[in-house]
């Protein structure tokens, strides 16, 4: 069979990116080439044998989220890069003529993105009392320099957020098993 090069620059670039050792061979991908994929099932490739719910089990490495009640503004910050799962319960009690809120944000030091808000905006009288609670479960990816923040705000300290966060994978996707687990 003739050595006919593949002329798609996109396909050639993908080949060079995924097989960097081929760059030094001086030969591009040809139509007659056979590519044999190799699948790595080791734990370093991110496969631990645990189902997702077991791999994300709560253990002693969790970061407790406990902010609010008794102070006007409190913040819990997570800044370790990687993939995180969090589960929190947000509660806002409105007892005065001021606004109260719970926010979950991601910021990189320059830009802040709000990813959740539970807020009471005062529209009634100071004697009205309202309570709202919301369970929030989410996955988030943090780059180096990113901060995941759980914030309570309000002048009367009536906001609260309680729960936990657990890192479930590194920035490269290597799973973080529960503390002490061995396969």
Q: Say if residue 127 is in the same domain as residue 94.
A: yes
Q: Say if residue 162 is in the same domain as residue 81.
A: yes
Q: Say if residue 79 is in the same domain as residue 153.
A: yes
- Residue 63 forms part of a structural domain: yes
- Residue 47 forms part of a structural domain: no
- Residue 156 to residue 30: CA distance in whole angstroms: 70
CATH code where residue 117 lies: 2.60.120.1010
Nearest C-alpha neighbor of 106 from the set 146, 161, 68 = 146
- Residue 74 forms part of a structural domain: yes
Q: Are 148 and 76 in contact (CB under 8 A)?
A: no
Mean pLDDT of 5-24: 67
Q: How would you classify residue 180: left for phi > 0, otherwise alpha for psi between -120 and 50, otherwise beta? A: left
Q: Say if residue 80 is in the same domain as residue 16.
A: no
Residue 144 vs residues 141, 147, 173: alpha-carbon distances, Å = 10, 9, 14
Q: Say if residue 33 is in the same domain as residue 85.
A: no
Q: Say if residue 80 is in the same domain as residue 161.
A: yes
Q: Say if residue 24 is in the same domain as residue 56.
A: no
Mean pLDDT of 117-129: 66
- Residue 78 forms part of a structural domain: yes
- Residue 102 to residue 114: CA distance in whole angstroms: 11
Q: Say if residue 29 is in the same domain as residue 107.
A: no
- Strands 82-94 and 130-142, by their bridges, are antiparallel
Q: Say if residue 91 is in the same domain as residue 124.
A: yes
| Chain centroid offset of residue 20 CA | 30
Domain range for residue 133? 52-169
For residue 30, name the pLDDT band (cuts at 50, 70, 90): low
pLDDT tens readout for residues 47-92: 446 788 888 888 888 888 888 765 667 788 999 999 999 999 988 8
pTM to 2 decimals? 0.67
Number of structural domains (the chain) is 2
pLDDT tens readout for residues 127-174: 556 677 889 999 999 999 999 999 887 656 578 889 999 999 999 988
């Amino acid at each position: 069979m003739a050595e006919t090069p593949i002329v798609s620059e996109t396909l050639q670039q993908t080949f060079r990116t995924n097989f960097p050792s081929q760059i030094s061979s001086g030969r591009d991908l040809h139509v007659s080439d056979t590519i044999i994929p190799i699948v790595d099932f080791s734990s370093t490739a991110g496969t631990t044998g645990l189902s997702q719910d077991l791999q994300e089990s709560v253990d002693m490495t969790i970061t407790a989220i406990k902010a609010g009640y008794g102070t006007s503004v409190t913040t819990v910050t997570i800044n370790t890069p990687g993939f995180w799962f969090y589960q929190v319960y947000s509660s806002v009690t409105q007892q005065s003529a001021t606004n109260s809120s719970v926010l979950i944000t991601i910021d990189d030091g320059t830009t802040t993105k709000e990813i959740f808000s539970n807020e009471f905006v005062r529209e009634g009288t100071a004697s009205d009392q309202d309570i709202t609670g919301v369970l929030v479960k989410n996955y988030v990816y943090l780059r180096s320099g990113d901060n995941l923040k759980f914030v309570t705000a309000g002048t009367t300290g009536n906001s609260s957020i309680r729960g936990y966060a657990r890192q479930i994978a590194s920035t490269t996707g290597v799973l973080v098993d529960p503390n002490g687990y061995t396969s």
